[in-house]
Amino acid sequence: MGLGYTDLLVAQQAAGTSFGSFTTAKTVINQEALRTLPSGYLYIGKSLHIKVRGGIGTLVTTPGTIVFQVMIGSVIAFSTGAMQLNATAHTNLPFALDIELTCRSIGASTAATLMGQAVVAGKMLTVTAGQTDGANSNTILLAPATAPAVGTGFDSTIASILDFWAGFSISDAANTIKIEQYKVFEDN
């Protein structure tokens, strides 16, 4: 059995921008936190660990859902799926998200895939739409809320930017996200 190590690939160096009033998922990390994965970087079994910490604000009564996505170029290589926000207003409360990605296949066009699973925690999340803060404190969710499956295929034979996106189902100035810490580690 070989000795492995973990290496920090990239880290966000400053507090991020607070984004609100949007629905279409978009990048929510600072420019310096983008990482270009070179052509041929991935191999079957290669794993990446993404750690995200920040704050989320939510609209009262009908905040909708939030989704987190790992992008490889323009492809959604991993998605948490829509996660229900609870019906209590919050202003920039802390959340934590850990994503584990393992390369399952490599190749051109759409042949490369990543298996991803995540753990996300925050007071603004809820297990069901009917729960509020009184019954719901610092909920921990496993994502996606479906059977584990590889994400959308991408081309691992070309250099591509690794990015982190988020989106809300309801556009409102109260639905906000601000990334305070973002790190990507590779396991070798």
Is residue 35 scored above 90 in pLDDT?
yes
The confidence score (pLDDT) of residue 188 equals 73
pLDDT tens readout for residues 43-57: 999 999 999 999 999
Long-range contacts: 25-32, Cβ < 8 Å, 24+?
Answer: 25/67, 25/69, 25/165, 25/166, 25/167, 26/165, 26/166, 26/167, 27/71, 27/163, 27/164, 27/165, 28/164, 28/165, 28/166, 28/177, 28/178, 28/179, 29/163, 29/164, 29/179, 29/182, 30/179, 30/182
* Single pTM value for the model: 0.92
Taking 90 as the threshold, does the pLDDT of residue 139 lie above it?
no
pLDDT tens by residue, 8-30: 999 999 999 999 999 999 999 99
For residues 113-137, one letter each, b for 16 or more C-beta atoms within 10 angstroms of the residue's C-beta and e for the rest, the string is bbbbebebebbbbbeeeebeeeebe
- Reported confidence tier of residue 187, pLDDT bands at 50, 70, 90: confident
Residue 114 near residue 135 (C-beta atoms within 8 A): no
Give me the pLDDT at residue 87, please: 86
Contact assessment for residue 25 and residue 69, using Cβ atoms and an 8 Å cutoff: yes
